[in-house]
Amino acid sequence: MSRQKTKTDDIRREHYFTKMIENAENALREYLQERGGEQTLYVTEYMQRRSYLLE
């Protein structure tokens, strides 16, 4: 596999996972808005701390 093809594939994967994460964050935000509650800040903070696994 050429370097250019590998780089292109990596960029496509990164874009795919970035969109997937954005969609998950939006779904969570909608869920939390509908549900309300005090744990909203905790869940958001927890997800932000866990995001290092995706980097």
Which residues 6+ apart lie within 8 Å of 54 measured at CB? Answer: 17, 21
Residue 41 pLDDT greater than 70, yes or no: no
Q: Residue holding tokens 């744990």?
A: 39
- pTM surpassing 0.75? no
Domain that holds residue 39: 3-54
The phi-psi region of residue 6 (left if phi > 0; otherwise alpha if psi is between -120 and 50; otherwise beta) is: alpha
pLDDT digits (tens, 9 = 90+) for 5-38: 888 999 999 999 999 998 888 888 887 777 775 5
Predicted confidence at residue 40, as pLDDT, reads: 56
Domain count, the chain: 1
The pLDDT of residue 2 is 78
Residue entry with tokens 């958001």 = 44
Contacts of residue 40, defined as CB under 8 A and 6 or more positions apart, other chains included, come to 32
CA–CA distance, 8 with 44 (Å, rounded to integer)? 32
